Amino acid sequence: MKFSNGYWLMKEGVTPHYAKDLFEYTPTADGLRAVVASTPMRARGDTLNSTVITINVTAPMPDVIGVEIRHFYGDVPGHRPLELYTEPVTPETVVDGRNACFTSGDLTLKMYGDEDFRMDFIAEGRVVSSAAPRACGYFIDANTGRNYTRGQLSVGVGESIYGLGERFTPFVKNGQVVDIWQADGGTSSEQSYKNVPFYLSNKGYGVFVNDLTDVSFEVCSEDVERVGFSAQGESLQYFFIYGRNGHEILERYTALTGRPALPPAWSFGLWLSTSFTTDYDENTVNSFIDGMAERNIPLSVFHFDCFWMRGNHWIDFEWDKNMFPDPEGMLRRLKAKGLKLCIWINSYVAQASSLFPEAAEKGYLLKKTDGTVWQTDLWQSGMGIVDFTNPEAVKWYQGHLEKLMDMGIDCFKTDFGERIPVRDIAWYDGSDPLEMHNRYTLLYNKVVFDLLERKRGRNEAVVFARSAYAGGQQMPVHWGGDNTATYPSMAETLRGGLSLAACGFGFWSHDIGGFEDTAPADVYKRWCAFGLLSSHSRLHGSGSYRVPWNFDDEASDVLRRFVNLKCSLMPYIYTQAVYAHKFGTPVMRPMVVEFMDDPACAYLDRQYMLGGSLLVAPVFDEGGKAQFYVPQGRWTDLLNGRTYEGGRYYDGVYDFFALPLLVRPGTILPVGADDTRPDYDYHKGLTLKVFELDDGDSSQIEIYDMKGENPVTVNAFRRGGRVTVTADRPLEGVKLEYVGDGVSEIALG
């Protein structure tokens, strides 16, 4: 939110109170408190009728410092802070007169308490960022009667800001205004299904604003030298997270807000949907599944979208008996084909649903302050919203899902969760309605995910979720929402996914071919390559089926090519998934996260890293042209063997069976023996491909099994023309290949 009118003036009706003049420092049980006056404190009388800003500093874990800016201490009724996972450290605190230093690990916050109060975040002898004078403030807006708290941090020359959720606007957020407010806005607007009040800087730090309300970020917009963040209320807390690279920053951020669960290996295969508004019954479903089998296209998951139920009854959890007279038998028959089954749900109950009277009577639906059920005609007529702050509503909702699981459903697509009202609303547990707008999606997905873990086991739980907030990465997978069937939408979809990845979301997918409209055959085929080189891969649309034979004669061959490729790469991809689960670095990641020191990577948003070793550059051009940048080193295209010297841009024209897929030098790439399914024995029949080792260099990789356990550590070492490969335990039927110059022999040591 903007408070100023240019540099010199304030907006009419806005009164600022900045933290200016230190009054005192006080040690606290978990850190340090600075009380700072908004006017100079030169005499005793200056303490009268004055405003003070309290700065509370904490150390929730090494290399992370929390800063709370607070005016009054009376909390908003119903305030429920976001749950954080802390590892508190004993900070080193030094107070020297009007200055103080507060150190957590390698990060120090230095506060200067003169009449221009400011703070520097210092690491390894350099100022990483600063809260300059007038950065910490409290604002009164006479126009609206609302009060706001704001923080600001400096942005240096050449510094770029990323993240803030799944945003489809330009990848670098400098110059943008970003409001953290859940919205169902599609992929071609500034609105976002997944809002995360965290940003990542290419100068080696991240900032997480721990506030569930509509935090507004002014990213070099109100003040082009600063990122400002403000929220309505008496306080605002942020965490400054230092890291030497993108991995360290995201590791610490996800340690604070939660690491992703590890999805089951089968979920990495191809998902096929009925699509949204299309007509379908069991015969239609079988025609899709059998058609894929006839064309030798491996299929792992089949998804039933909304109309498995009757329209205008969503959600009653009842199969449309006109279309599916024998749902239990149908599901058994589909399971016999080796498929996992997914089904669409949302957290709303239509007025026509058989469940509405019960849910309304028992208090399971969100109410207005007058005690009546809140209802709307937007989406389903007269629908209400399940109130997940009511424990009995949670049990009731899970009970209906459990019946579907007992039929054979393996996972759920948790759609919606964004349009949560805030005016005249009374939640069961008294939660603040403003906070619940963003928090609701966390409760919704947790209700479903917890049930899946309880019923299927921790390593078998997976959802396909559209909405998310900070911490939502703990419940994968998330998909990119309603895009359109064009190249620009394909590119904006990737931008959104990379922005979300910059917020620690480890697993992400999108609607291959676009959701709205029907793609031309070339867009569909290019999207197949992109989709199968994403962490998760789903064919889904709105008004038409997304089976490949509906596009052209070549589409089935293209889809098969990339499904086979992904399945063969599963020993590598699943190891990257384990790393995302353990350390928080996403499977799909922006180039800047992997190569933060390379200035050419700062603006790259049409390519990405799939794990730490594969560079993917989807084709977004009707003529098949791709332009991409290669970081330092000698990289090799996995699909055609061509080599690229790093530090420059390249372009080329690619047919539908190829795209730039480059292997990082020094990589040991494990290629599996099965290209027909994602879940198999990753330790048997492996081909270990070693790429571009310099003489005297070594490389290492861990290869996990399909449960994410029992890692085998493989090392490769080059001396002269020989590469020796060793493993810490035997691998059955392993084959070795070396890709590069100057090596005449590769052997097991």
Q: What long-range pairs does 641-644 form, CB within 8 A, spacing at least 24?
A: 641/739
CA nearest neighbour of 449 among 474, 415, 419, 417:
474
- The answer, yes or no, to whether residue 438 has pLDDT greater than 80, is yes
Please give the DSSP secondary-structure letter assigned to residue 516. B
- The answer, yes or no, to whether residue 77 has pLDDT greater than 90, is no
Average pLDDT (398-406) is 98
- The answer, yes or no, to whether residue 619 has pLDDT greater than 80, is yes
pLDDT tier at 171, thresholds 50, 70, 90: very high
Helix/strand/coil (H, E, C) string of 182-196? Answer: ECCCCCCCCCECEEE
Strands (E) in 498-639, as ranges, are: 508-509, 511-512, 537-539, 588-589, 608-610, 614-616, 625-630, 634-637
Q: What is the structure's pLDDT at 637?
A: 98
The dihedrals phi and psi of 115, each to the nearest 5 degrees, come to -70, -5
Residue 692 CA to chain centroid, in angstroms? 32
Cβ within 8 Å of residue 441, ≥6 positions away: 182, 417, 418, 465, 467, 468, 469, 472
User: Which position among 248, 305, 415, 522 bears the catalytic label?
Assistant: 415
- Cβ of 627: how many Cβ atoms within 10 Å? 15
What DSSP element (H or E) covers 560? helix 555-568
What DSSP element (H or E) covers 65? strand 64-70
The DSSP string of 216-255 is EEEESSSSTTEEEEEEESSEEEEEEEE-SSHHHHHHHHHH
Average pLDDT (617-629) is 98
678: left (phi over 0), alpha (psi -120 to 50) or beta: alpha
Say how many residues make up the chain.
749
Cβ within 8 Å of residue 457, ≥6 positions away: none
| Whether residue 418 lies in the annotated active site | yes
Cβ within 8 Å of residue 691, ≥6 positions away: 636, 663, 664, 665, 666, 667, 668, 669, 739, 740
Exposed e or buried b per residue across 526-542, where buried means at least 16 C-beta atoms within 10 angstroms of its C-beta: bbbbbbbbbbbbbbbbb
Q: What long-range pairs does 320-326 form, CB within 8 A, spacing at least 24?
A: 323/280, 323/281, 323/282, 324/281, 324/282, 326/282
- Cβ of 733: how many Cβ atoms within 10 Å? 10
| Whether residue 651 lies in the annotated active site | no
- The answer, yes or no, to whether residue 75 has pLDDT greater than 80, is no
The dihedrals phi and psi of 284, each to the nearest 5 degrees, come to -60, -45
CA nearest neighbour of 486 among 529, 445, 515:
515
301-304/270-273 β-pairing? parallel
Q: Residue 110 is encoded by which pair of tokens?
A: 């230095």
Q: What is the structure's pLDDT at 81?
A: 84
Please give the DSSP secondary-structure letter assigned to residue 12. T
Q: pLDDT of 361-396, one tens digit each?
A: 999 999 999 999 999 999 999 999 999 999 999 999
Distances (CA, A) of 378 to 184, 228, 345, 350: 12, 34, 16, 10
**Mean of all residue pLDDT scores within the chain:** 97
The residue assigned the tokens 């990753």 is 682
pLDDT tier at 422, thresholds 50, 70, 90: very high
User: Which position among 214, 418, 594, 692 bears the catalytic label?
Assistant: 418
Distances (CA, A) of 502 to 221, 301, 398, 592: 21, 28, 32, 9
CA nearest neighbour of 500 among 524, 476, 526:
476
Q: What is the structure's pLDDT at 721?
A: 97
Q: pLDDT of 311-366, one tens digit each?
A: 999 999 999 999 999 999 999 999 999 999 999 999 999 999 999 999 999 999 99
Report the C-alpha gap between 622 and 487 in whole angstroms. Answer: 8
Q: Residue 159 is encoded by which pair of tokens?
A: 């510094």
| Whether residue 482 lies in the annotated active site | yes
Q: Residue 425 is encoded by which pair of tokens?
A: 């609303």
- The answer, yes or no, to whether residue 41 has pLDDT greater than 90, is no
pLDDT tier at 686, thresholds 50, 70, 90: very high
User: Which position among 63, 222, 482, 705 bears the catalytic label?
Assistant: 482
The dihedrals phi and psi of 627, each to the nearest 5 degrees, come to -120, 135
Q: What is the structure's pLDDT at 115?
A: 80
- The answer, yes or no, to whether residue 700 has pLDDT greater than 80, is yes
Q: What is the structure's pLDDT at 238?
A: 98
Note if the bond before 734 is cis, omega within 30 degrees. Answer: no
- Cβ of 176: how many Cβ atoms within 10 Å? 17
CA nearest neighbour of 536 among 479, 576, 484:
479
Exposed e or buried b per residue across 556-571, where buried means at least 16 C-beta atoms within 10 angstroms of its C-beta: bebbbbbbbbbbbbbb
Q: What is the structure's pLDDT at 78?
A: 80
Average pLDDT (634-663) is 98
CA nearest neighbour of 36 among 48, 22, 18, 16:
22
Identify any residues that bridge with 615 across adjacent strands, giving them in sequence order: 609, 662
The answer to whether the beta carbons of residues 246 and 596 sit under 8 Å apart is yes
Strands (E) in 346-490, as ranges, are: 348-349, 367-368, 384-385, 411-414, 425-426, 478-479
The dihedrals phi and psi of 590, each to the nearest 5 degrees, come to -65, 150
Q: Residue 705 is encoded by which pair of tokens?
A: 């099994």
Distances (CA, A) of 445 to 122, 463, 465, 475: 38, 8, 7, 7
C-alpha radius of gyration, the chain, whole number: 27
The dihedrals phi and psi of 294, each to the nearest 5 degrees, come to -60, -30
Strands (E) in 86-174, as ranges, are: 92-96, 99-104, 107-112, 118-123, 126-131, 137-141, 146-154, 161-165
The answer to whether the beta carbons of residues 266 and 301 sit under 8 Å apart is yes
Average pLDDT (291-296) is 98
Domains and CATH numbers, the chain: 4-154+205-242 (2.60.40.1760), 265-347+390-583 (3.20.20.80), 588-663 (2.60.40.1180), 681-748 (2.60.40.1180)
Identify any residues that bridge with 130 across adjacent strands, giving them in sequence order: 120
Please give the DSSP secondary-structure letter assigned to residue 344. E
